[in-house]
Every structure is written in C-alpha cells, then in structure tokens.
Amino acid sequence: MTLETTLAAIGPADEPAMAAARDLQARLTKPAGSLGALEELSVRLAGLAGTCPPPLPEPASIAVFAGDHGVHAQGVSPWPQEVTAQMVANFVAGGAVINAFARQVGASLMVVDVGVKIPLHGGDTLLDANIRRGTRDFTVEPAMTVDEARAALEVGISVARALVDGGAKCLLTGDMGIANTTPAAALVAAFTGAEPVAVTGRGTGIDDETHAHKTAVIAGALATHAPDPKQPLATLAALGGLEHAALAGFILGAAERRVPVIIDGVIACSAAVVAAAFAPDAVAAMVAGHRSAEPGAAVALAHLGLTPLLDLGMRLGEGTGAALALPIVTGAVRVLHDVATFDSAGVSEK
Amino acid sequence: MTLETTLAAIGPADEPAMAAARDLQARLTKPAGSLGALEELSVRLAGLAGTCPPPLPEPASIAVFAGDHGVHAQGVSPWPQEVTAQMVANFVAGGAVINAFARQVGASLMVVDVGVKIPLHGGDTLLDANIRRGTRDFTVEPAMTVDEARAALEVGISVARALVDGGAKCLLTGDMGIANTTPAAALVAAFTGAEPVAVTGRGTGIDDETHAHKTAVIAGALATHAPDPKQPLATLAALGGLEHAALAGFILGAAERRVPVIIDGVIACSAAVVAAAFAPDAVAAMVAGHRSAEPGAAVALAHLGLTPLLDLGMRLGEGTGAALALPIVTGAVRVLHDVATFDSAGVSEK
C-alpha cells in the first residue's frame, strides 16, 4: 500500500506561498528579474514548501540506486556488466566522481543495491534492497514483473521517507547500471511518444554501428510490448530497470514529503517521467539539475516542462549533475532568506 | 611601474602540466569525456598552475570594485546615481545578493571604492582607494586621464596581489556602479570591433527608447574618441570606468600570480577584454563564470575564446555569476585530486 499512500498524499503547489515569494523578490535590493532562472526557482520551492521563504535545502542527501539489465546481452554497451558492481564498490570506497562532488557540496551519499547482478558486500553507506539480480532482457519478455516493479518503486519511496525523516531538506538522484541508458530511452519514448531515434544516445561511449543497433533494440521492444502510458506500472515493468523504478519511487517520496528533489541525467529524467505519469503534481517537487548530453534527457525535461540549471556537456550519471546544481538551488533560496529589501537597506528605487 | 612589472610577469599556460591533466582524466573511473566542460577546465587550470593536479581554488576571494560614471548625466540609466553608494553600504552591511552568495560558496568578500561619487564611510570590508569621485562624461571628453586609468589599473593589481599573498587560491570579480554597462559596452565595441547595437543591452532595466538613446550615446563616444585597440591604456581612459580599469588590473594581477580569476558579467567581461589587450596570455587565468543576459558579455567572451559555465539569465553584476560558478570550478579541480583510477579501484575498462 506504500505506493498508493504516497500517490494519494501528493498535492499541487501552494499558490499563496508562490505569490508571497514573487512579491518578496520584487522588494529585494536588486533590479527586478536580474537573477533570471533563480527567481522562478525560488518561487517554485516556496510553492512546494507552502511557505515563504521556503527552507534552505540543507542538509542534502544523494541516493545512488544501482541495478543491472538483461538487455545488456544485446550488446548495447561496450562495458562489461561487472562494472556495475565494481563501481558500487568504488562509491562505497569514496573513489568515484559522485563522492568527490558530494564532499564538494556538503551532501551525504548513500548507495542502494536495488538490482545488481553480482552480490555485494557493503559498508555503512550501502543499503541492500536487492529485488532481483538484474532485470530480464526486454527484447524477449518484460524486464520486470509488475510486483517487482512495485517493490522497486517502494524501495525508492522508503529511502526518500527515511532520508527526509532523518533531516534531509533536499534529495538528489543518483544511478549506476551498465546499459541503463537503454531502458531509460525506452521509458522516455513510451511515456512521451517520442521516436526511438530521438531519445537514443551514446551512453558512456558507443560507435555509430552500436548506436544504430541500440536504437533498433529500443524500437523493437516498444513494438513488442506496445506500452500504454496510461498504465504506468505495466509500462515501467515492461521496459524499465530496477534502479529506474526505485528512482521514480524516490521522486514520488520527495513529492509526498514536499521536499525538493534534484533530478540528474537521463536515467533520473526517465524516472521523473514515470513519476509524473503516476502523479502529475509530483513535478512541483522536481528541480532539473543539468542538461545531460543524452538526447532522451532533453525530451523528458521538455515533457515535464522543466528547464535544467546547468548545461556542461556532462553524461556521467551517478548523480553528478544533480550534485553540481545543489549550490545553485541553495543560492536561489538563500536570496529569499538573506537579502535586504529596498526599504530596510535605504536604497533608492528607480 | 606596477603595471609594467605585472605585464612582464604574465606568461603562457604550461603545456606539460596540461598534458598530464589530460592523461590523468583518461585514467579516472568514468567514461572518457563524460564530465564535459569540467574536463577541459581542469586541464586549463593545470596549465595555469604549471602542475597537475592544480591546487584547489580554496579559499576564494571576491573583490567588488565600485565607481560612478559621468555618462550617467546622459540619461542612460533609470537609477539615481546615489544608488552606487547606497549599494556599497548594503555590501558592507551584508545585505546584498553577493553577500548571500559569498556566504553560500564560502568565499570572502571585500569592497573597493575606486571611484564612487559620494564619500563613503566604512567597515572592515571596505577599502578606500578612490581615485576620482566618478569619471567624466565621455560624450564630452575622455572619461579618465591616462594617469587616472593607470592608477585604477594599479589599484586592481594591488588588491589581487594582496589577496593572493594572503592565501587566496582563486579570485572572483565583482562590480557596482550605476550606468556602468554603458562604458562596458563602449569598451567591448572598441576592443572587439563589434557594432554598438550588438553590445548595448538593457542594463538593470530600461525601455526601448532609453535603449536606443544608450546605443546612440555609445556610438557617438566611439566616433568622438576614435579609439585604437592597440593603445589599450588610452582606449580605457577615453571610454572606461574606474571600476572597469581596476577590474582589468585585478585580472592582470591574478594572471601574474597564476591564480584563476572567475569573470562575472558584462562589466567584468569588458575588463577582461582590456586585460587581454594588455597581455594576451592573461586569458589563461580567466574562467568565464556565467553568460550574462547583457549582449556585450557574449561578444566579449567570444573575442576571448571563453565559454561560460552557467547560463541562468542573470544580469545583476556584483560578482553574483562568478560566485555561483565557484563550486563548479572547485568540482572540476577536485576530480583530479580525489577520484580513483581504473587501476587503483579495480574497475574494468571497456
């Protein structure tokens, strides 16, 4: 029942709080509109919190959800599948880019094994919530059963709830899973109606031939499963990954708790599209961290009506684009807390 | 002699250090190129420092240079001129957006009165280096004498040297001066050859009629002074502002000390163009923080061959766009310090 409880608890943005934030922005000692995208972001976060100013998004917590993918057997990635588990070990040891960025921005980091093929042995920062040792190959059969997809969603919801109940004021999405851009592209195509060629990218680095093959694999899966975007759970089960499902739950959990969730790259964007299919009001909790170089990310963000904060040509995943965006989100909120008004500072208006 | 000493000390980027950084990036546990613009930034900063990895850009110091402008009499800004001094008081009191962002990113902040019209009293964080109480109206005569422009340049150099000698590993440019987008646009046009209409923006908010007038004012000044970009000191004196001159010196001082300087919006971009006219190798020290909504900023950055890190529609100045970029610059360098290699982490390569 966790999923249904969460969906029922997600509501729209609070309009009076948004109006109060717009009014406050106009009285601060700066020309109107001169903070560009940060002003609208501060208004959205006031609407999410239901108060102005909204709380500072500190402390922030990154959760990296890891899983493996049956479709790897189709040769969609040049990387061996064991790299998923090796990179999880690297996260736990503190040696990956997301670890460096988490330290940089002062965010905590946890890793959730929701579907890694190789059994992992963990450390304090690794949560074992493994539902299945990798999905099935969706070119042959649904990647997950509906029950598996629901269980993964509920892992994400539970992680979000636990982090927020533990004090987190902002959640950041992370992912790891060799071949996981393939299910991400399939989900974006299924939920947005975009053509496979418009959402299929080069992931962590593939050549033209592999890219054409990957596009064909995704198109074939869409033809095989004929997903109905009005049936989000069945669509997610057919085409998704366990980390995609968990991330969708994580986003829904943030929306339920009315805490902002910074969306990373194409994996998180595909999960955000799934979350919005379950609960359209969940978009109010989403902040797009960056524009991934993966084409499916831009399609997903356009579908959600979100504009990313950063555009640095990154395509790493792990939560790296969300982490780099955190100080900007905090800055946008801090303006509402800290900056003097024309009246209070004795500054003349034009 | 400070200016000549500084110019003589500025040299090119160190190629072996850049090669070492490229080699290290290729061995870190991430797909090659997946950090996009951050990878090339880390290479540039290694070249500046002459070592790999380059030092983390912490602690960082923001210097906000403030001045007034005779051309304000031509009605190029809707704001009264006393707002310059009022905003300096707001900076000293900690109530401006740049104060909030400085706290946010852990940077120190100092304010330098290099040319404010109204005498200021103030506070530990205000340096009185006033050279003249505002420039002359450049539609009538040169804004500064050559000696005044040199003195302002040397204020900037001295501030940069003092901050670096006091431990700063990164400098950030800030500015305050009602009407200062007008001299900034004139400088960008003079040094890049761009047409006045291509570099003239709406500053802190002007209507179509004022914008057309502002463009005509700039075009008139360029016709009157016929500036020669090969004579940077004379061109700066004719068209610049005292804070523009000081910022050019501040950038040159950073380049002399081989410390990165994050360039803010159109005022800082115009100063960066001046600095590059004095010493083309100074570009190696420059990091473009953000793409200002002011059109002259983009023209200046293209002239310098720099791509901004952020594009958030901001047009506030004060150093705000530089401050928000600082965590990204730090993140780019931190990757070279903290991230494990494929070998050290036992991660398979593709």
Residues B158-211: tens digit of each pLDDT: 999 999 999 999 999 999 999 999 999 999 999 999 999 999 988 777 889 999
Q: Are A38 and A89 contained in the same domain? A: no
Cα four-point dihedral sign A49, A287, A271, A80 = negative
Closest CB to B80: pick one of A28, A37, A348: A348
With respect to residue B115, please indicate whether it lies within any of the assigned structural domains: yes
Residue in A195, A209, A318, A349 annotated catalytic: A318
Spatial neighbors of A269 by CB under 8 A, at least 6 apart, are A184, A188, A263, A288, A292, A296, A297, A300, A301, A304
Q: Are B70 and B155 contained in the same domain? A: yes
When pLDDT is averaged across residues B67-72 and rounded to a whole number, the result is: 98
A318 counts as catalytic: yes
Query: What residues pair up with A176 in beta bridges, in sequence order?
Result: A66
Nearest to A47 by CA among A286, A280, A322: A286
- CATH number of the domain that residue B44 is part of: 1.10.1610.10
Give the pLDDT band of residue B108 (cuts 50, 70, 90).
very high
CA distance A142 to A238: 4
Q: Tell me: pLDDT of A191 over 90.
A: yes
**Closest-CA residue of chain A to B291:** A36
Which contiguous run of DSSP H or E holds residue A47? helix A37-49
**Closest-CA residue of chain B to A29:** B96
Q: Are A181 and A262 contained in the same domain? A: yes
Q: What is the DSSP string of A148-210?
A: HHHHHHHHHHHHHHHHHHTT-SEEEEEEE-TTTHHHHHHHHHHHH---HHHH---TT---HHH
CA distance A288 to A267: 12
Q: What is the DSSP string of B10-61?
A: -----HHHHHHHHHHHHHBSS-TTTTTHHHHHHHHHHHHHTSSSPPP--SEE
With respect to residue B77, please indicate whether it lies within any of the assigned structural domains: yes
Q: Indicate yes or no: CB of B316 within 8 angstroms of CB of A348.
A: no
Cα four-point dihedral sign A279, A281, A282, A286 = positive
Q: Are B87 and B24 contained in the same domain? A: no
Q: Are A145 and A206 contained in the same domain? A: yes
CA distance A53 to A47: 10
CA distance B273 to B248: 8
- Note the Cα B291 to chain centre separation in Å: 12
Phi first, then psi: give them for residue A258, nearest 5 degrees.
Answer: 55, 45
**Closest-CA residue of chain B to A326:** B327
Q: Are A340 and A321 contained in the same domain? A: no
Residue A29 with chain B: CB contacts under 8 Å: 87, 90, 95-97
Burial of A278: CB neighbours in 10 Å, binned 0-12, 13-18, 19+: buried
- CATH number of the domain that residue B123 is part of: 3.40.50.10210
Spatial neighbors of A113 by CB under 8 A, at least 6 apart, are A66, A67, A88, A120, A126, A127, A128, A129, A130
CA distance B45 to B53: 9
With respect to residue B36, please indicate whether it lies within any of the assigned structural domains: yes
Chain segment A75-96, per-residue pLDDT in tens: 999 999 999 999 999 999 999 9
Chain segment A252-289, per-residue pLDDT in tens: 999 999 999 999 999 999 999 999 999 999 999 999 99
Closest CB to B339: pick one of A97, A334, A348: A97
Phi first, then psi: give them for residue B127, nearest 5 degrees.
Answer: -100, 125
Q: Are B107 and B237 contained in the same domain? A: yes
Instruction: Write down the ipTM of this complex.
Output: 0.96
Quickly count: other Cβ atoms within 10 Å of residue B220's Cβ.
Answer: 15
Closest CB to A96: pick one of B32, B37, B339: B339
Closest CB to A316: pick one of B31, B82, B104: B31
pLDDT at position A202 is 82
Count of domains in chain B?
Answer: 2
**Closest-CA residue of chain B to A346:** B86
Q: Are A187 and A291 contained in the same domain? A: yes
Phi first, then psi: give them for residue A170, nearest 5 degrees.
Answer: -160, 140
Q: Indicate yes or no: CB of B205 within 8 angstroms of CB of A32.
A: yes
Q: Are A220 and A276 contained in the same domain? A: yes
When pLDDT is averaged across residues A334-343 and rounded to a whole number, the result is: 97
With respect to residue B138, please indicate whether it lies within any of the assigned structural domains: yes
CA distance B328 to B274: 26
SS3 B274: helix
With respect to residue A46, please indicate whether it lies within any of the assigned structural domains: yes
Q: Indicate yes or no: CB of B314 within 8 angstroms of CB of A346.
A: no
pLDDT at position B88 is 97
pLDDT at position A203 is 73
Q: CA–CA distance from A300 to each of A27, A270, A347, B70, B334 (Å)?
A: 35, 6, 43, 50, 30
Burial of B179: CB neighbours in 10 Å, binned 0-12, 13-18, 19+: buried
Closest CB to A100: pick one of B86, B309, B335: B335
Q: Are A49 and A66 contained in the same domain? A: no
Q: Are B42 and B126 contained in the same domain? A: no
Domain of residue B257, residue span:
60-328
What single-letter DSSP state applies at residue A310?
B
What single-letter DSSP state applies at residue A117?
S
Cβ–Cβ under 8 Å, residues B72 and B139: no
Chain segment B202-259, per-residue pLDDT in tens: 877 788 999 999 999 999 999 999 999 999 999 999 999 999 999 999 999 999 999 9
pLDDT at position A349 is 84
Q: Indicate yes or no: CB of A334 within 8 angstroms of CB of B103.
A: yes
Q: Tell me: pLDDT of A123 over 80.
A: no
With respect to residue A102, please indicate whether it lies within any of the assigned structural domains: yes
Chain segment A197-222, per-residue pLDDT in tens: 999 988 777 889 999 999 999 999 99
pLDDT at position A295 is 95
Cβ–Cβ under 8 Å, residues B63 and B250: yes
Q: Tell me: pLDDT of B23 over 90.
A: yes
Nearest to A10 by CA among A229, A233, A257: A257
Chain segment B293-321, per-residue pLDDT in tens: 999 999 999 999 999 999 999 999 999 99
CA distance A265 to A293: 8
Nearest to A256 by CA among A171, A334, A329, A333: A171
What single-letter DSSP state applies at residue B106?
T
Question: How far separated are the first and last CA of chain A, in Å rounded?
Answer: 57
Phi first, then psi: give them for residue B140, nearest 5 degrees.
Answer: -110, -40
How many CA atoms lie within 13 Å of B57's alpha carbon, on the beta-carbon side?
36
Quickly count: other Cβ atoms within 10 Å of residue B76's Cβ.
Answer: 26
Q: Which of A76, A86, A350 to mutate to test the interface with B (most CBs of B within 10 A)?
A: A350
SS3 A85: helix
CA distance B305 to A164: 44
Six token digits for residue B336: 């070279």
Q: Indicate yes or no: CB of B105 within 8 angstroms of CB of A327.
A: yes
Chain segment A289-332, per-residue pLDDT in tens: 999 999 999 999 999 999 999 999 999 999 999 999 999 999 99
Cβ–Cβ under 8 Å, residues A173 and A250: yes
Cβ–Cβ under 8 Å, residues A184 and A296: yes
Residue in B154, B243, B294, B318 annotated catalytic: B318
With respect to residue A350, please indicate whether it lies within any of the assigned structural domains: no
Query: What residues pair up with B176 in beta bridges, in sequence order?
Result: B66
Phi first, then psi: give them for residue B129, nearest 5 degrees.
Answer: -130, 35
Residue A344 with chain B: CB contacts under 8 Å: 95
Q: Indicate yes or no: CB of A35 within 8 angstroms of CB of B314.
A: yes
pLDDT at position A317 is 95
- Note the Cα B301 to chain centre separation in Å: 11
Burial of A228: CB neighbours in 10 Å, binned 0-12, 13-18, 19+: exposed
Sheet holding B261-263, edge to edge: B126-128, B108-115, B60-67, B170-176, B261-263, B286-288
Q: Indicate yes or no: CB of A95 within 8 angstroms of CB of B338.
A: yes
Q: Are B66 and B174 contained in the same domain? A: yes
Helix axes B97-105, A320-338, angle to 10 degrees: 140
pLDDT at position A36 is 96
Residue A233 C-alpha, separation from nearest chain B C-alpha, in angstroms = 32
Cβ–Cβ under 8 Å, residues B155 and B246: yes
pLDDT at position B124 is 80
SS3 B332: helix
With respect to residue B238, please indicate whether it lies within any of the assigned structural domains: yes
**Closest-CA residue of chain A to B350:** A79
Q: Indicate yes or no: CB of A350 within 8 angstroms of CB of B310.
A: no
